[in-house]
Amino acid sequence: MAIDPNTENIISLTEAAQSLPRRRAGKKPHLSCLYRWSTTGCRGVVLETIQVGGTRCTSKEALARFFRRLTDPAQHGPTHPETPRQHDHRRQREIAAAERHLDEEGL
């Protein structure tokens, strides 16, 4: 489900991080944690976000959906299918370059 800016309470990822309960050692989740949730996700569940000008935002409702899916993934399933991550592609290029180098050296 996509965020509907007309009906949902839009908040920046900074505001979202500040609104979450404290976690380990009494610290709030770091802003980078929310960015990670919105890109690579957590256990196959990705936090829905929208871009508002130069600011990445989510909504209170999207956070609730995200946590609900994390709590019961069997019922809700991942929001996005698993896709190869960027670093996987980079690793494949590095492997191909190493294999070419070995071939050039006759090994």
Distance (Å, rounded) from C-alpha 39 to C-alpha 66?
Answer: 13
pTM (2 decimals)? Answer: 0.64
pLDDT at 81: 53
Return all residues near 77 (Cβ < 8 A) that are at least 6 apart.
44, 69
3-state class (DSSP) for residue 52? strand
User: Which residue from 74, 6, 65 is spatially nearest to 37, judged by alpha carbons?
Assistant: 65
Q: Give residue 57's identity as a one-letter amino acid code.
A: C
pLDDT at 9: 93
Average pLDDT (57-62) is 95
Share in percent of the chain as helix, strand, coil (round to 5): 50, 10, 35
Average pLDDT (63-80) is 76
What percent of the chain clears pLDDT 70, i.e. is strictly above it?
85
pLDDT at 78: 54
